[in-house]
Amino acid sequence: MSTNLIDAGAIAAHNDTLLSQVGSDYAHLGEQLGRRGIDIERVRARVAAFGVAIPSWGVGTGGTRFARFPGQGEPRHVFDKLQDCAVIQQLARATPTVSLHIPWDRCTDWSELRQTASSHGLAFDAINSNTFSDQKDQAHSYKFGSLSHTDAATRAQAVAHNIDCIEIGRALGSKALTVWVGDGSNFPGQQHFRRAFDRYLDSAQQIYAALPGDWRMMLEHKICEPAFYSTVIQDWGSSFLAAQTLGPKAQCLVDLGHHAPNVNIELIVARLIAAGKLAGFHFNDSKYGDDDLDAGSVSPYRLFLVFNELVAAAHEGVAFDPAYMLDQSHNVTDPIESLMTSAVQVQRSFAQALLVDRAALDAAQDANDAMTATHLLKAAFQTDVTPLLQRVRLEAGGAIDPVAAYRASGYRQRVAVQRPAVAGGSGGIV
């Protein structure tokens, strides 16, 4: 398998056409930031060190429970997925890691997979377990739950699967297990809320006990879907209770789409940081529910406000280490284009949050000067950091305009020749 998926010469040729423009835009931005007392080079160094993981399932076309419309050249297996992730990293240079989902990413030789990843310059982030759908030849069904199921044998099967995931993760160099369960109920009265939570805790404790010393267990909450009346790990409160019961290696993962509309996610983030329980993020955007839209495509300001909390905490010396991953469903776009765009959007929000004048904000907050405080945030958010991001990509060997370079490369058309067309029609992952 080639390690140079998009011809480096083609990327260089693409960059050449935009080089002088980026040079003068960057100089101008540097001058503007300089007037605000911000050293653009320091911001650039921090942004260059930032990375967000690609979910292996994100490179396939997504779908809804109504239908899935596969695109051209869909990845056939985990090696194809890795290759698509490598293209994303080659062009956008903001996604050095991949997060696998087991058993969707079946593989007979994990060390070969690890080597392939490393030949692409990629490493593995958190491993995700799946006890929300039944697999072929599975003894017990998850129709009525997994870690919280009323049946002990079903719970044991779900625990064993999570422990398998830890083993796979070890072989790949992962350091975290993300646990999201679809457990819940569809009818009032269907489930005894407290007993279901206790059963979940009991199962989670067994998984926790199998966790290597330097690993984290990231608990992902979700308000609804596939269970539409109640879910066992419904919100950050349930997630926090569970993480606290399990111990220091268990933390709460925030998927931006897993809350009721209008919930103040940045406030949840601040609370979890304060409690030392923020595991990290699954980034996406939403308007109505778990819409899995591209990160920042609807509410970029909300994404910025989340990063504002992260940057503020780091600035104040709080020790924490959030894991960043995209988790979105690409139903109408080429997944590679969406993932590159979202990675850059997340990187952009981080860069903008670095521009907030923290001393002035502290002073405005202390003086109860709401207008100045909010203007300070807006001043950072409204700064166009595009030239800075372009420069970061350029220095790292990526493309100034990743989507344009990708389209010009013909990668999708090339892989479509090797990868057979997939039939559409049925529902896809949600």
282 binds ligand PSV (CB under 6 A): yes
CB 147 within 8 A of CB 183: yes
Query: Please, what is the minimum distance in Å from the beta carbon of residue 290 to ligand PSV?
Result: 5
153 CB contacts (<8 Å, ≥6 apart)?
A: 139, 140
**Interacting positions 252-281 with ligand PSV (CB under 6 A):** 255
DSSP string over 43-68:
HHHHHHT---BEEGGGGS----SS--
Q: What is the DSSP letter of 218?
A: E
State the binding string over 121-160 for ligand PSV (x if CB under 6 A, else -). -------x--------------------------------
266 binds, among ligand PSV, Mn ion, none (CB under 5 to 8 A by kind): none
The answer to whether the peptide bond before residue 103 is cis (omega within 30 degrees of 0) is yes
Number of Cβ atoms within 10 Å of the Cβ of 109 = 10
**Interacting positions 303-332 with ligand PSV (CB under 6 A):** 327
The CA distance from 191 to 149, in Å, is: 10
The CA distance from 284 to 287, in Å, is: 11
220 binds ligand PSV (CB under 6 A): yes
Query: Please, what is the minimum distance in Å from the beta carbon of residue 323 to ligand PSV?
Result: 12
Q: What is the DSSP letter of 58?
A: G
Burial of residue 146, with CB atoms counted within 10 A of its CB: 0-12 exposed, 13-18 middle, 19 or more buried: buried
- Among 327, 336, 339, 391, interactor with Mn ion by CB under 5 A: 327
The CA distance from 263 to 110, in Å, is: 40
The CA distance from 297 to 318, in Å, is: 30
Nearer to ligand PSV, 294 or 327 (CB): 327
Closest by CA to 1, choosing from 60, 70, 87, is 87
222 binds Mn ion (CB under 5 A): no
337 binds Mn ion (CB under 5 A): no
Amino acid occupying residue 145: G
294 binds ligand PSV (CB under 6 A): no
User: Tokens 């076309």 appear where?
Assistant: 61
Q: What is the DSSP letter of 57?
A: G
105 binds ligand PSV (CB under 6 A): no
Element (H, E) at 368: none
290 binds Mn ion (CB under 5 A): no
Nearer to Mn ion, 30 or 184 (CB): 184
The residue with its CB nearest to ligand PSV is 180
Nearer to ligand PSV, 99 or 203 (CB): 99
Total number of residues that touch Mn ion (CB under 5 A): 3
- b vs e for 183-195, b when ≥16 Cβ sit within 10 Å of the residue's Cβ? bbbeeeeebeeee
Nearer to ligand PSV, 222 or 412 (CB): 222
Task: Give the SS3 label for residue 149.
Answer: coil
Return the ∠ at Cα 97 (arms to 129 and 69), rounded to 5°: 65
Cross-strand pairs, 102: 129
Q: What distance separates the 2 farthest-apart alpha carbons in the chain?
A: 66
Nearer to ligand PSV, 74 or 220 (CB): 220
Amino acid occupying residue 223: I
183 binds ligand PSV (CB under 6 A): no
Nearer to ligand PSV, 55 or 96 (CB): 55
Nearer to ligand PSV, 48 or 326 (CB): 326
- Among 84, 125, 285, 290, interactor with ligand PSV by CB under 6 A: 290
Total number of residues that touch ligand PSV (CB under 6 A): 9
Measured in residues, the chain has a length of 430
285 binds, among ligand PSV, Mn ion, none (CB under 5 to 8 A by kind): none
74 binds ligand PSV (CB under 6 A): no
- Among 120, 282, 348, 391, interactor with Mn ion by CB under 5 A: 282
Query: Please, what is the minimum distance in Å from the beta carbon of residue 220 to ligand PSV?
Result: 5
283 binds ligand PSV (CB under 6 A): no
429 binds ligand PSV (CB under 6 A): yes
The CA distance from 320 to 317, in Å, is: 9
429 binds, among ligand PSV, Mn ion, none (CB under 5 to 8 A by kind): ligand PSV
183 binds, among Mn ion, ligand PSV, none (CB under 5 to 8 A by kind): none
393 binds ligand PSV (CB under 6 A): no
255 binds Mn ion (CB under 5 A): yes
Closest by CA to 270, choosing from 258, 283, 252, 284, is 252
222 binds ligand PSV (CB under 6 A): yes
The answer to whether the peptide bond before residue 226 is cis (omega within 30 degrees of 0) is yes
Judged by the rule CB under 5 A, the positions of this chain that interact with Mn ion are 255, 282, 327
Judged by the rule CB under 6 A, the positions of this chain that interact with ligand PSV are 128, 180, 220, 222, 255, 282, 290, 327, 429
